[in-house]
Structure 1
Amino acid sequence: MVSPLCCSLPPLLWFILFFIFSAAGDGGAAALDTQAAYLARMKEQFPGPGMSRWDFSSPAPDYCRFQGVACDEGGNVTGIDVTSWRLVGRLPPGVCASLPALRELRMACNDVRGGFPAGLLNCTYLEVLNVSYSGMSGTVPDLSPLRALRVLDMSNNLFTGAFPTSIANVTTLEFVNFNENPGFDIWRPPETFMALRRIRVLILSTTSMRGGIPAWLGNMTSLTDLELSGNFLTGRIPVSLALLHRLQFLELYYNELEGVVPPELGNLTELTDIDLSENRLTGGIPESLCALPNLRVLQIYTNRLTGPIPAVLGNSSQLRILSLYRNQLTGEIPGDLGRYSELNVIEVSENQLTGPLPPYACANGQLQYILVLSNLLTGPIPAAYAACSLLLRFRVSNNHLEGDVPPGVFGLPHASIIDLSYNHLTGPVPAAVAYAANLTSLFASNNRMSGELPAEIAGASGLVKIDLSNNFIGGAIPEAVGRLSRLNQLSLQGNRMNGSIPESLAGLRSLNVLNLSDNALSGPIPESLCTLLPNSLDFSNNNLSGPVPAPLIKEGLLESVAGNPGLCVAFRLNLTEPALPLCPRPSRLRRGLAGDVWVVGVCALVCVAAALALARRWVLRARRDAEHDGAPTSPASRSSSYDVTSFHKLSFDQHEILEALIDKNIVGHGGSGTVYKIELSSGELVAVKKLWVSAARRTKQQHDVQVLTSTTSSGWLGDRELRTEVETLGSIRHKNIVKLYCCYSGADSNLLVYEYMPNGNLWEALHGCFLLLDWPTRHRVALGVAQGLAYLHHDLMFPIVHRDIKSSNILLDADFEPKVADFGIAKVLQARGAGADRDASTTTIAGTYGYLAPEYAYSSKATTKCDVYSFGVVLMELATGRKPIEPEFGDTRDIVHWVSGKVAAGAEADALDKRLAWSPYKEEMVQALRVAVRCTCSIPGLRPAMADVVQMLAEAGPRTPKDKLDSNKDSKGSAGQQQPKLPPASP
């Protein structure tokens, strides 16, 4: 119906109104055109597949239907969400002028260049801004103009300079997250933050905050989540935090807080998650805290807490995670723990707890971790634990537990580690172990276990480590053990095993430790086992008989066969070796003429071989003289000036090495010298690293060599890096660490003789043009390097930090087995325990850009966690095929930030090596990437130990299609369960 007023309007006014409305209409159209133009520019500025979702091919594109674009009823853009679109570029200027109705901008998990987009400061109506994991760097400007902002997430970036305390002026803020921006200058939160009356979530973890926790935070009563972890906070936890009556999450871990845990925190009746770990807190655990009705997660590990775990915790109906390891707690674990709640994790290792294991821990069938090692616990393992079908790790070692182990514990279907060592446990290893489909480590050493090792153990095909040493296990070693293809360690020493050593063990190509000493084994040492060298082999103190295999003699491993009266050697050895009799020669009557012919033939062959070797040496010398006619005196002619330090039985002498140092044998040059590939007269290949001594250092080193020769048996020159490499490699034995045969030291040069690696280094294999390693090979490389580093970090009297782990320092043998090399800047931690790992420091920064842990760059502290970080970078190289630094990563980004962003966005598959697109192992590659992200965490304490990395990689190993099918069947019904937040695994 037309209004009467309209009908009465004069014609002139009608014209004026028509003009006004027409102008308004044109302006609206212009505004819409401006928005379309800006979105088109945005697509241009972020080229790549991500923006293919926006199609501007039609004359009038309906951008309100574009994925990630939200509009109001008038067609005005109110929201843009391009989270995890793999965008690389800059946000075009003028965003607010072009999109005046913009309320939400979400650009997380991309690569936004050029720092914080200054144009955003004009978005006065912007309510949500999320640029987390976007690679932003530089300083953050004054954010005060964003006066409508409710949600601000700038976490996990590379911001530097002053922290933007100007957020205190944006009083509309409800959610603030600056987590993981360690580049900010040291700062303290100002009291002006109290102006944020609406703030619910305040996450300021790892932002370089220093000083005490401000008491005025207790006045911000709207808070539900307060996270200040990973900073440099000192002093006590203020009692005023108990005034935050809405608080649900309180995260203060990884600081330097002292004093007691305030009992007043028990007033926070809404609290569900509290983490005060990795501080210096003392006193007891408040009972009031443990009685909170909604408490799901209680983590206070690695502090100095004393007293008992409050028994009231056993009454909780909500508790999921209890992590209190590395304290000084006493008393018993609450007996009802887990009885009324769906408990996931019990982690109370390394305390002084007594009494029995909690019998109801698995009552609700959700328990995944029982970690109670290194306490004073007594009594049996509850029979109910055999029904804990979801258990992933069961570690009760270093206690006083007794009684038979429930058979079902050995067959837990999902367990990866079963650790019963150093208790008083009895009973056999049952056949049920065959059901442990995911078991990688079985530790039960130093108990009182008996029976025989069952052949069914081969059913646990994923086993990497078996240590059943120092028990009363008898019977023969099952031949079936040889089918455990992933086995790295087999320790059965100190038992009552009899029978012969199975030939099948020679098939364990991944084996590094084989210890069968102190048993009652008989028969010969199979020659085939020597193919496992240079592994740690120990057959001592048995009843073995027959000749010692020649490779054991060559490697100087006669101590590994000591205590076997029936063993003999085929030829007389150096008197310094352990005395072993000569093997009896066959009887003359039995040998007869054929025996005489055999002896004569052998002698003739030896003579011919000797003559050929002498002839070859003469030819090499003549050739060398011809090639260097008129050159300075050759090393060979000065061989008398070379001192030798050997670490293995040598099949060559220094003349053979020195005479082969000719140009045609050069295979590489480095900053410190030249590398030669030399074929010995025996046909064996060795690599020789020749390090020249500069004239400037020669005078000093002549003094050094006098000091060295007066205190050691060798006289090699005192070059620090050379000395480090020789001392390090000469003292260790591991199949994944390159073997150093010997060192020659002379007036002008030093020579290191290594085993030769025919397949070069991992950098060349990954980034060269000549071959493509499949994933099983890459995984084998990763696992081997991890095992070598775990040996350096955990298996020596003093841990060794390599300090320069990178793909070019990982060599590959003929079977692509990896060997860690180049120990020139290794650091030996001359102390034991965690303190050594934290406090070992160096005077200079060593390592390679792209592989350096961030804390090492500014603190110069060399710890094992620096090696873990570098290994994580190598693991990313293996999974992605990319180099640590590539232009695609951006100006201030590297592979770590690039991969971490992919993983955080759930887009791991996009980061995998495109050359392996055909690979059936994509799931395993994604698992490896996740391990790599853990290894490269910016907080060192959150990185796993290398022993745990070995474990995780073994669990993520390539499986056959049948294995995957069986695993999928087992996991049905539990795929949707939320994984609990876990603490770093204790040793």
Structure 2
Amino acid sequence: MVSSFLLPLSFLLLFLLPLAAAAATDSAVAAATDSAAAQFNFLSLLKKSFKGPSMARWDFNRFNDLDSRANYSYCNLPGLGCDSAGDVVLIDLSSWFLAGDFPAGVCSALPALRALRLGYNEIRNGFPGDLTDCSFLEELNLTHARITGGVPDLSPLRSSLLALDLSNNYFTGEFPVAALANLSLLEYVNFNENPGFEVWKLPEAIAGFTNLKVLILSTTSMRGKIPPWIGNMTSLTDLELSGNFLVGNIPATLGRLQKLQLLELYYNKLTGEIPHELGNLTSLIDIDMSDNHLVGSIPASLCGIPGLQVLQVYTNNLTGEIPQVLGNSSALTILSIYGNKLTGELPVDLGRYSNLIVLEVSENLLSGPLPRYVCAQRQLLYILVVRNNFSGELPASYGECNSLLRFRVNDNNLSGRVPESLFGLPHASIIDLGFNSFEGIIAKSIGNSKNLTALFLPNNKISGVLPPEIGLATSLVKIDLSNNLLSGPIPAELGHLTLLNQLSLQGNKFDSSIPESLSSLKSLNVLNLSNNHLTGKIPDSLCELLPNSLDFSNNQLSGPIPFPLIKQGLIDGVAGNPLLCLPFHVNLTDPVFTLCPRRNFRRRLNNMWIVGVSAILAIFVVLLLVKRWLGKKSVLMKQDAFSSSSSFSYDITSFHKLSFEQHEIVESLIEKNIIGHGGSGTVYKIELSNGEWVAVKKLWSRKTKDPVTAKEEQQGSLDRELRTEVETLGSIRHKNIVKLYCCFSGVDSKLLVYEYMPNGNLWDALHQGKSLLEWNTRHKIALGIAQGIAYLHHDLLFPIVHRDIKSSNILLDADFEPKVADFGIAKVLQAGGNRETSTTVIAGTYGYLAPEYAYSFKATTKCDVYSFGVVLMELVTGKKPVEAEFGENRDIIHWVSSKMSTKECIDEVLDKQLAWNPLKEEMIQFLRIAIRCTYSNPSLRPTMNEVIQLLTEAHPCKPDANGPPFKLVEPRHRKG
């Protein structure tokens, strides 16, 4: 009976099962289709929300069939990844240069999303709030996304999130302490460079993060002490807490972090001693505790870590000796411990067994000999041992260290002969042996130092002659050989050093005349030949340079004192030359010079009579001609009278020897000579009667401006800019700063007369197709701009901040030598040498402005460094500071930084107009320097003197005959 019942039931099941399976299949297909449609719709919305050329990679034209999930091939789009079921699990749009709002609904549309990477884009309207609803999200990377506002509570991601990177944004408000404490699965946390957070402390709850490997909280306004319980986070491999307000001691419990490879605590206010327990960090590769208030000694246990490559503890109050065990290291590459009170000797075997790149121990109390093996591996780039008590001779091996870029041993007690080969180091940019007791000669090999920009040997016992071969070191910018025993002639070959802006040869025994060739040094700012045995006359041509500091005193010079020296009040610079005389009577109290012999005076007097009579006759003839002209053209009498009076109604202030008359300028201010108009006036290009050209800027005056717009504050601003321009340019002279010849001040207008730059400005050359600048020319332009700005910042009694460095303010002469121009808003920093000054308005140009200037109103030298970095990026990329392809509200800095972060994209930033393949490495080095110049934190930017050195050193590194190739390595912060 049961079987008779089951039999029809089994037949019924056999009939219904296929129907049920079909229904289930249909349901699954429908669900899959709905899910695919939802994902497709969100991706379409994402494409519409984010603007940028890279978004064109998402071509949806072929995704039209909504009937079958199999036709949804969006998983093949770049930047997307799907699982085996076809669900989107990865969105990676890093460095796509996009800008826009991240659309809502990502978690509901993409429920399987596990990784979201949007770094190096611009996400507007704050943090995408609904990301916290993504239940399976394991990785969230929003680095360099320019996000503003606060960070939401991320606690809902506690069960999934493994990696969180919110570094380099503009977050404000409270640091998400609670969220950080709840995300217990995290393995990677990076909040680096978010200084806008309110001050906060580390929550102890994160001590339980047993999986956390990377914790980067640098520059996040963290305060308080480093909590000892961090030592319980034993999975850490990278701990970075630098750039905060941390105080107190470094906890000894950090020594428990056996897996730690990188420890960065620099730029805080930490005190106490370095715990010897740090020597237990056997996996440590890099440690930096610089710029704190640490005391005590450097633990030997720390120096004995076998894999330690980088040890930086500069600018603290450390004492004691450097552990000798450091000399046994086979891993050490960077030792930077300057600015402490360390004593004793450097380890004898330092560098003998490791590829040492940087030795920087300046400004300590170290003594004894310099270690002979520091360049044993032929990798050393920097020897910086300035201001210590080192003694003994320089090891001969230093002269064979061809990889060296900077060699500075000045201000020690070193002695003996300088190895002659040291002067011929092929890559060195600085050789500084000053203030020691060195003997010997300057070797002829100096001519091989093609990259040398600074040669400093003051206050030694160097003897012999200055070899003519020095004229072959054509990159030299500064030479100081003062207070030595050099003798013989001053070589005429010095005139070949066209970049030279300082020549200090005082306090030697030079006994020749002053070479006429020095007059070709157009960049010269300092010329000191005092306290020698020089004879002969002072060349008149040399006086045309009139450097800021000129001193020929205490020699045996003879003949008349050149008139320019008298006119410019530089008579003190020739004191102590009893055979010099005055060509005419001048009231002087000190020094006292006699009149030149009467014979010369009478000859000059006769010449003056001849000139005077000739002038009177000429004037008489001119008056007759004018009278005849007025008789024939009486209608033009009033106009001529006005023109004549206005032509000679200007007060003139000259700053250089003038080769033109006033009327030549005024009479040429006609329409056909106009070459441009600016916000403050008109610019004219004028040919002088001698065939030379000048540029004249005619400033608008209150009378010539429209009465409606000529408001008093506008006029006041123009007057201030004119006064600033005149006072600034009139007092400085540098090859790379535009020359202001003179200023005409009249009732109805003011005229500034400059040297004319035939190749226009850099902006037009790069962006308007005016000329194709090859890389070698761009290299020269970059270095020239840097030298001009460095002169303003470092070589004047009071530093000058230009405040408007941009490519349109860089003029190019006939040889494409750059000149910094337009000093209308410059600031002179006079408050005790202070490097900043406050202003009431933002001055400068969008795209070049340093970010801190926008909110602090403080003009600093680092603001100019930032602007120079932008110009440097223009030179390498050929791009403008702001381009449409960067995305709305985005600039060249973000574009270059994001491209450089991806190796595959580096070639995309180099100017396509250039044949750059052979020079690619050098151009990339320039971009890295530009990125350093544009760091958001001003303290991390280099000075302009450092920029010059970096540019000089940024050449393609070629294999050396005595060793393997080397590459440039920059410590995070370095003096020298």
Q: TM-score, normalised by structure 1?
A: 0.80
CA RMSD, Structure 1 to Structure 2 (Å): 4.9
2:115 aligned partner: 104
Give the Cα separation in 2 of the matches to 1:681 and 1:422: 52
Between 103-112 and 535-544, the greater mean CA deviation after superposition: 535-544
**3-state SS of paired residue (1:298):** strand
1:149 aligned partner: 161
**3-state SS of paired residue (2:784):** helix
Give the Cα separation in 2 of the matches to 1:369 and 1:430: 22
Give the Cα separation in 1 of the matches to 2:18 and 2:443: 98
Q: Is 1:847 paired with 2:843?
A: yes
Give the Cα separation in 2 of the matches to 1:349 and 1:454: 31
Question: Counterparts in 2 of 1:247-258, with a 5 A limit?
Answer: 247-258=260-271
2:419 aligned partner: 406
Give the Cα separation in 1 of the matches to 2:476 and 2:117: 45
Give the Cα separation in 2 of the matches to 1:302 and 1:596: 66
1:796 aligned partner: 796
From 897, 900, 916, the counterpart of 1:900? 897
Q: Is 1:213 paired with 2:240?
A: no
Task: Tell me if structure 1 keeps the 8 A contact 2:743–2:750.
Answer: yes
Q: Is 1:831 paired with 2:832?
A: yes
**3-state SS of paired residue (2:394):** coil
Please report how far the alpha carbon of residue 534 of structure 1 lies from its aligned counterpart in structure 2 after TM superposition: 5.7
Between 611-620 and 317-326, the greater mean CA deviation after superposition: 611-620
Q: Is 1:11 paired with 2:24?
A: no
Identity value in percent: 55
Give the Cα separation in 1 of the matches to 2:190 and 2:488: 62
**3-state SS of paired residue (2:946):** helix
1:705 aligned partner: none
1:938 aligned partner: 936
1:425 aligned partner: 438
Question: Counterparts in 2 of 1:630-709, with a 5 A limit?
Answer: 685=694, 687=696
How has the CA–CA distance of structure 1 residues 91 and 428 changed in structure 2, closer, same or farther, with 3 Å as cutoff? Answer: same
Please report how far the alpha carbon of residue 772 of structure 1 lies from its aligned counterpart in structure 2 after TM superposition: 5.9
Question: Counterparts in 2 of 1:243-642, with a 5 A limit?
Answer: 243-478=256-491, 480-484=493-497, 486-499=499-512, 513-521=526-534, 572=584, 574-575=586-587, 579=593
Please report how far the alpha carbon of residue 857 of structure 1 lies from its aligned counterpart in structure 2 after TM superposition: 4.0
Amino acid paired to 1:842: S
**3-state SS of paired residue (2:294):** strand
Give the Cα separation in 2 of the matches to 1:615 and 1:12: 129
How has the CA–CA distance of structure 1 residues 422 and 673 changed in structure 2, closer, same or farther, with 3 Å as cutoff? Answer: same
**3-state SS of paired residue (1:425):** strand
Task: Tell me if structure 2 keeps the 8 A contact 1:536–1:734.
Answer: no
Task: Tell me if structure 2 keeps the 8 A contact 1:788–1:820.
Answer: no
Tell me the alpha carbon deviations over residues 564-614 of structure 1, each in whole angstroms, 9 at most, x when there is no partner: 667778x647555984865998999xx9xxx99999997787668878999
Tell me the alpha carbon deviations over residues 154-180 of structure 1, each in whole angstroms, 9 at most, x when there is no partner: 222333333333132222110011112
Which runs of 5 or more structure 2 residues have no equivalent in the other structure?
A: 1-9, 64-70, 704-715
Tell me the alpha carbon deviations over residues 273-311 of structure 1, each in whole angstroms, 9 at most, x when there is no partner: 221112233333333433334332221112232333233
Task: Tell me if structure 2 keeps the 8 A contact 1:547–1:583.
Answer: no
**3-state SS of paired residue (1:328):** coil
Please report how far the alpha carbon of residue 381 of structure 1 lies from its aligned counterpart in structure 2 after TM superposition: 0.8
**3-state SS of paired residue (2:820):** strand
Please report how far the alpha carbon of residue 8 of structure 1 lies from its aligned counterpart in structure 2 after TM superposition: 12
2:68 aligned partner: none
Tell me the alpha carbon deviations over residues 610-656 of structure 1, each in whole angstroms, 9 at most, x when there is no partner: 78999999999x9999579999x9999998xx8x8776667899999
Tell me the alpha carbon deviations over residues 826-855 of structure 1, each in whole angstroms, 9 at most, x when there is no partner: 1324335xxx44xx5536455325444333
Amino acid paired to 1:347: E
1:697 aligned partner: none
Task: Tell me if structure 2 keeps the 8 A contact 1:347–1:371.
Answer: yes
Task: Tell me if structure 1 keeps the 8 A contact 2:800–2:826.
Answer: no
Tell me the alpha carbon deviations over residues 362-397 of structure 1, each in whole angstroms, 9 at most, x when there is no partner: 233332211111222111111222232322221111
Task: Tell me if structure 1 keeps the 8 A contact 2:462–2:486.
Answer: yes
Give the Cα separation in 1 of the matches to 2:403 and 2:731: 42
Tell me the alpha carbon deviations over residues 792-813 of structure 1, each in whole angstroms, 9 at most, x when there is no partner: 3222334344444444555556
How has the CA–CA distance of structure 1 residues 971 and 437 changed in structure 2, closer, same or farther, with 3 Å as cutoff? Answer: farther
How has the CA–CA distance of structure 1 residues 492 and 552 changed in structure 2, closer, same or farther, with 3 Å as cutoff? Answer: same
Give the Cα separation in 1 of the matches to 2:534 and 2:810: 38
Task: Tell me if structure 1 keeps the 8 A contact 2:685–2:693.
Answer: no
How has the CA–CA distance of structure 1 residues 646 and 549 changed in structure 2, closer, same or farther, with 3 Å as cutoff? Answer: closer
Give the Cα separation in 1 of the matches to 2:889 and 2:367: 52
Amino acid paired to 1:327: N
1:786 aligned partner: 786
How has the CA–CA distance of structure 1 residues 316 and 923 changed in structure 2, closer, same or farther, with 3 Å as cutoff? Answer: closer
Between 947-956 and 262-271, the greater mean CA deviation after superposition: 262-271
2:974 aligned partner: 985
Please report how far the alpha carbon of residue 402 of structure 1 lies from its aligned counterpart in structure 2 after TM superposition: 0.6
**3-state SS of paired residue (1:306):** coil
Q: How many residues align?
A: 935
How has the CA–CA distance of structure 1 residues 981 and 776 changed in structure 2, closer, same or farther, with 3 Å as cutoff? Answer: closer
Amino acid paired to 2:145: S
1:712 aligned partner: none
Tell me the alpha carbon deviations over residues 478-512 of structure 1, each in whole angstroms, 9 at most, x when there is no partner: 55555555545444443334555556656656555
Q: Is 1:952 paired with 2:950?
A: yes
From 161, 169, 174, the counterpart of 1:162? 174
Give the Cα separation in 2 of the matches to 1:658 and 1:280: 63
1:133 aligned partner: 144
1:704 aligned partner: none
Task: Tell me if structure 1 keeps the 8 A contact 2:799–2:830.
Answer: yes
Between 33-42 and 370-379, the greater mean CA deviation after superposition: 33-42
Amino acid paired to 1:159: F
Q: Is 1:201 paired with 2:214?
A: yes
Please report how far the alpha carbon of residue 668 of structure 1 lies from its aligned counterpart in structure 2 after TM superposition: 7.9
Please report how far the alpha carbon of residue 675 of structure 1 lies from its aligned counterpart in structure 2 after TM superposition: 7.9
Give the Cα separation in 1 of the matches to 2:592 and 2:781: 37
1:869 aligned partner: 866
Tell me the alpha carbon deviations over residues 678-704 of structure 1, each in whole angstroms, 9 at most, x when there is no partner: 99999885756769799xxxxxxxxxx
Give the Cα separation in 2 of the matches to 1:372 and 1:612: 74
Amino acid paired to 2:24: I
Q: Is 1:21 paired with 2:22?
A: no
Give the Cα separation in 2 of the matches to 1:138 and 1:322: 40
How has the CA–CA distance of structure 1 residues 664 and 413 changed in structure 2, closer, same or farther, with 3 Å as cutoff? Answer: closer
**3-state SS of paired residue (1:451):** strand
1:79 aligned partner: 90
**3-state SS of paired residue (2:949):** helix
Please report how far the alpha carbon of residue 356 of structure 1 lies from its aligned counterpart in structure 2 after TM superposition: 1.6
Give the Cα separation in 2 of the matches to 1:155 and 1:870: 24
1:736 aligned partner: 736
Task: Tell me if structure 1 keeps the 8 A contact 2:676–2:683.
Answer: yes
Amino acid paired to 1:108: G
Please report how far the alpha carbon of residue 323 of structure 1 lies from its aligned counterpart in structure 2 after TM superposition: 0.9
Task: Tell me if structure 1 keeps the 8 A contact 2:99–2:123.
Answer: yes
**3-state SS of paired residue (2:155):** coil
From 182, 197, 216, the counterpart of 2:195? 182
How has the CA–CA distance of structure 1 residues 267 and 596 changed in structure 2, closer, same or farther, with 3 Å as cutoff? Answer: closer
Which runs of 5 or more structure 1 residues have no equivalent in the other structure?
A: 1-5, 695-715, 958-963
2:706 aligned partner: none
